Chain A
Amino acid sequence: MNTKQRIVIIGATSAIAEHCARLWLQKRPTELTLVGRDARRIERVATDLKVRCPQSEIRIVQAEFLDPAAIATITGDIVDSGRIDIVLIAHGSLPEQAACQNDLRSCYDAIEINGVSPVLYAEAFAKKMANNNHGTIALIGSVAGDRGRKSNYVYGAAKGLVARYAEGLQHRFAGTGVKVVLIKPGPTDTPMTAHLKDNGAKLASVEVVAKQIVEGVEAGKPVIYTPAKWQLIMMIIRNLPAFIFNKMDI
């Protein structure tokens, strides 16, 4: 009997996801399926993980992120090969707010990749996990989804969509063997936020964020703010009355 845990990562070249994978493999040999768009980039991630943990089995799936039919096929194939313990849905991209305001195409793309696509993946896995009554679905949202702000509300809206979706899924699976975890990272030092860093923004280390995610998923927390201070910051931001909030340049 195969006792290795099975983990699936959608958007495996995301820096946060990759660091989670390193931690998971460091803990125990794993059967890992990496799903991503760019075959060469996933290959690089897979090679690295294989060196770090030769006892693990690593499978690569090149995938389409936007087509519902393709998503159904891909998730079907993955699920058919065995019971899944954890699926981490991590893909996304940080759009420029100005581009979203000036060009509806950019706006549409941003909402599709950050909001619609993660939901479709989660929904596809949810169906299979419901049958097994087992598994954890972890979705990477964002603190940006907690309240719309002028500096990135399109991205925030897409992440807010993911948050509301995760909430519903948690309701649906309450009391069952399926767990749903919503992860809300603050601004993290990854290639996605490289331009923020050059503007002097203070970013959290991706290693720290990944560690808190892996621990939170293991504990089955419904919502993980990481670094944890963002829980307090966002509680304040969410509760600021509009007449104050609207004066803030954030």
Chain B
Amino acid sequence: MTPIAAWGRLSADPHHVSRLNHPSGVPDLLRHASHSGIAHGMGRSYGDVCLNPEGTLWITTGLDHFIAFDSESGRLVCESGVLLRDIQRMVIPRGWILPVTPGSQLVTVGGAIANDVHGKNHHVVGSFGDHIRRITLVRTDGEIINCGPDEHAEWFAATVGGLGLTGVITQAEIQLHRVVGPWLDTETVPYANLDQFFQLADSSEADWEHTVSWIDCIGGSDGRGLFMRANSADVADRPVNEGRKLTIPFVPPVSLVNRISLRAFNTAYYHFKKWRSGRNITHYEPFFYPLDNLLEWNRMYGPKGFFQYQSVVPRNGGHAAIHAMLKEIARSHDGSFLAVLKTFGNRQPVGMLSFPQPGVTLALDFPNNGIRTHRLLERLDAIVHDAGGRIYPAKDARMPRELFERGYPRLTEFMQYRDPGISSGLSRRLMGY
């Protein structure tokens, strides 16, 4: 057995590791599995959705082959372990781009589907599952199910955002979008408080494809921050400055993100970016994936790891809920560096357990300070609960089962599609098995 941690590094429990190296071998391998398992790609989800302590992880990164790409229609077929990075680098020079991408491109296609990830353009194009045309799903009894929006649509709705629990995704077909080149026309606008944020968000949705904001959650509960928006730029050829890759080389004995460093970090970041605000032409990689060049950045939270907390609350009452959460955080002095605030579009997600819903989403990170952090997160839970919101399972390691059940009303329907041979830390914690 091998100790494996998720991206939040909260624990490193022992797992049996089994690599999936060839799609045709997957049905047999799953049928003969001696423990329950869960598919595991790059392990970029933060909590226990990609873990299965004492059980098996089926590592999918060996399923990294492209199968077909039609440069006329933009349809891409690939195995599920292909990285979004490899897709972007292959298709952008040919005039196509992934319509949806999360904040890291070092994730697999299978993981992006299973967590129905979203990006900064959710208000325009929805989430990852909205662009999937077909999924090949292998069940642990060896059955192969091909599903899509028009084919076994119920299996498709269960599998998109299905947290890997309906079977192992081995292949997918994705509809890409047209793009001129890798460049974005970006603008950074500082805002002083939440009212200004919501005004900026609402006025930007019609004209800007990508919107996101960084919020300084310890500068006071007013919520000053930086609003970033972008459209793809009509410039094709510009010299690309290959970003330098830096690695956090070891796990520091204590979290580098703490009460003292955070205030300095956040103040400096706010003022530096405010000074540099305005229009710019930016390459898509630093805009979409600001942390991908800082390899192993999760180590900076020290040996105890960190929690991510991403919630979405409906717009009706959302302003007050976000305000209340920021106030709680400021009061706790525990704050967060990677605090992201964004409005979602008004479309219903494809998956039964997809996270995005109409409203406003706040993502936060907290170094793990044990009971103190748990207490703070419980106070945030109460606010999310009262506002009728929900928490993103891909980032969660501790939400109460009751909040999960309240937040995901299609859970009972989803349970019929679960694969009895598949289990994860999260599924045992939140669904009983």
Residues of A at under 8 Å CB distance from B?
Answer: 15, 40-41, 44-45, 47-48, 51-52, 54, 191, 194, 197-200
Residues of B at under 8 Å CB distance from A?
Answer: 1-3, 16-17, 19, 21-22, 24, 62, 65-69, 71, 90
The 3 closest A-B pairs by CB, nearest first: A51-B66, A48-B65, A191-B21
Residue of chain A at shortest CB distance from B76: A51
Q: B67–A48 contact, CB under 8 A?
A: yes
A-B residue pairs in contact (CB < 8 Å), sample of 30: A15-B62, A41-B22, A44-B22, A44-B65, A45-B65, A47-B65, A47-B66, A47-B67, A47-B68, A48-B65, A48-B66, A48-B67, A51-B66, A51-B68, A51-B69, A51-B90, A52-B66, A52-B90, A54-B71, A191-B19, A191-B62, A194-B19, A197-B17, A197-B19, A198-B1, A198-B2, A198-B16, A199-B2, A200-B2, A200-B3
Residue of chain A at shortest CB distance from B1: A198
* Complex: A185 Cα to B71 Cα, angstroms: 37
Q: Which residues of B contact A54 (CB under 8 A)?
A: 71
The residue that B17 contacts in the complex, of A45, A51, A198, with Cβ under 8 A, is A198
* Complex: A199 Cα to B16 Cα, angstroms: 10
Residue of chain A at shortest CB distance from B24: A40
Q: Give the shortest distance, in Å, between B187 (CB) and chain A (any CB).
A: 33
Residue of chain B at shortest CB distance from A53: B90
Q: Which residues of A contact B65 (CB under 8 A)?
A: 44-45, 47-48
Q: Which residues of B contact A44 (CB under 8 A)?
A: 22, 65
- Can you add 9 more A-B contacts, CB < 8 Å, to A15-B62, A52-B66, A197-B2? A40-B24, A41-B22, A47-B66, A48-B65, A51-B66, A52-B90, A191-B19, A198-B2, A200-B3
* Complex: A51 Cα to B1 Cα, angstroms: 37
Q: Which residues of A contact B19 (CB under 8 A)?
A: 191, 194, 197
Q: Which residues of A contact B90 (CB under 8 A)?
A: 51-52
* Complex: A198 Cα to B2 Cα, angstroms: 6
* Complex: A40 Cα to B65 Cα, angstroms: 13
Residue of chain A at shortest CB distance from B90: A52
Q: Which residues of B contact A191 (CB under 8 A)?
A: 19, 21, 62
* Complex: A197 Cα to B21 Cα, angstroms: 14
* Complex: A148 Cα to B171 Cα, angstroms: 43
Q: Give the shortest distance, in Å, between A217 (CB) and chain B (any CB).
A: 22
* Complex: A44 Cα to B65 Cα, angstroms: 7
* Complex: A51 Cα to B69 Cα, angstroms: 6
* Complex: A44 Cα to B69 Cα, angstroms: 14
* Complex: A197 Cα to B3 Cα, angstroms: 11
Q: Which residues of B contact A198 (CB under 8 A)?
A: 1-2, 16-17
Q: Give the shortest distance, in Å, between A15 (CB) and chain B (any CB).
A: 8
Q: B67–A51 contact, CB under 8 A?
A: yes
* Complex: A121 Cα to B113 Cα, angstroms: 44
* Complex: A52 Cα to B3 Cα, angstroms: 35
Q: Give the shortest distance, in Å, between B296 (CB) and chain A (any CB).
A: 13
Q: Give the shortest distance, in Å, between B311 (CB) and chain A (any CB).
A: 35
Q: Which residues of B contact A197 (CB under 8 A)?
A: 2, 17, 19
Q: Which residues of A contact B66 (CB under 8 A)?
A: 47-48, 51-52
* Complex: A198 Cα to B16 Cα, angstroms: 7
* Complex: A191 Cα to B65 Cα, angstroms: 15
Q: Which residues of A contact B68 (CB under 8 A)?
A: 47, 51
* Complex: A52 Cα to B16 Cα, angstroms: 33
Q: Give the shortest distance, in Å, between A60 (CB) and chain B (any CB).
A: 15
* Complex: A194 Cα to B21 Cα, angstroms: 10
Q: Give the shortest distance, in Å, between B107 (CB) and chain A (any CB).
A: 16
Q: Give the shortest distance, in Å, between B98 (CB) and chain A (any CB).
A: 15
Q: Give the shortest distance, in Å, between B303 (CB) and chain A (any CB).
A: 18
Of the candidates A15, A47, A51, A52, the one having the most CB atoms from chain B within 10 angstroms of its own CB is A51
* Complex: A44 Cα to B66 Cα, angstroms: 9
Q: Which residues of A contact B67 (CB under 8 A)?
A: 47-48, 51
* Complex: A191 Cα to B17 Cα, angstroms: 12
Q: Which residues of A contact B24 (CB under 8 A)?
A: 40
Q: Give the shortest distance, in Å, between A202 (CB) and chain B (any CB).
A: 11
* Complex: A47 Cα to B3 Cα, angstroms: 35
Q: Which residues of A contact B22 (CB under 8 A)?
A: 41, 44
Q: Give the shortest distance, in Å, between B295 (CB) and chain A (any CB).
A: 11
Q: Which residues of A contact B2 (CB under 8 A)?
A: 197-200
Q: Give the shortest distance, in Å, between A88 (CB) and chain B (any CB).
A: 19
* Complex: A202 Cα to B21 Cα, angstroms: 19
Residue of chain B at shortest CB distance from A45: B65
* Complex: A40 Cα to B19 Cα, angstroms: 19
* Complex: A52 Cα to B67 Cα, angstroms: 10
Residue of chain B at shortest CB distance from A22: B86
Q: Which residues of B contact A194 (CB under 8 A)?
A: 17, 19, 21
* Complex: A200 Cα to B3 Cα, angstroms: 8
* Complex: A194 Cα to B66 Cα, angstroms: 22
* Complex: A191 Cα to B63 Cα, angstroms: 11
Q: Which residues of B contact A51 (CB under 8 A)?
A: 66-69, 90
Q: Give the shortest distance, in Å, between B240 (CB) and chain A (any CB).
A: 15
Residue of chain A at shortest CB distance from B20: A191
Q: Give the shortest distance, in Å, between B411 (CB) and chain A (any CB).
A: 34
Q: Give the shortest distance, in Å, between A185 (CB) and chain B (any CB).
A: 17
Q: Which residues of A contact B69 (CB under 8 A)?
A: 51
Q: Give the shortest distance, in Å, between A222 (CB) and chain B (any CB).
A: 29
Q: Which residues of A contact B1 (CB under 8 A)?
A: 198
* Complex: A112 Cα to B17 Cα, angstroms: 30
* Complex: A51 Cα to B67 Cα, angstroms: 7
Q: Give the shortest distance, in Å, between B13 (CB) and chain A (any CB).
A: 14
Of the candidates B1, B24, B65, the one having the most CB atoms from chain A within 10 angstroms of its own CB is B65
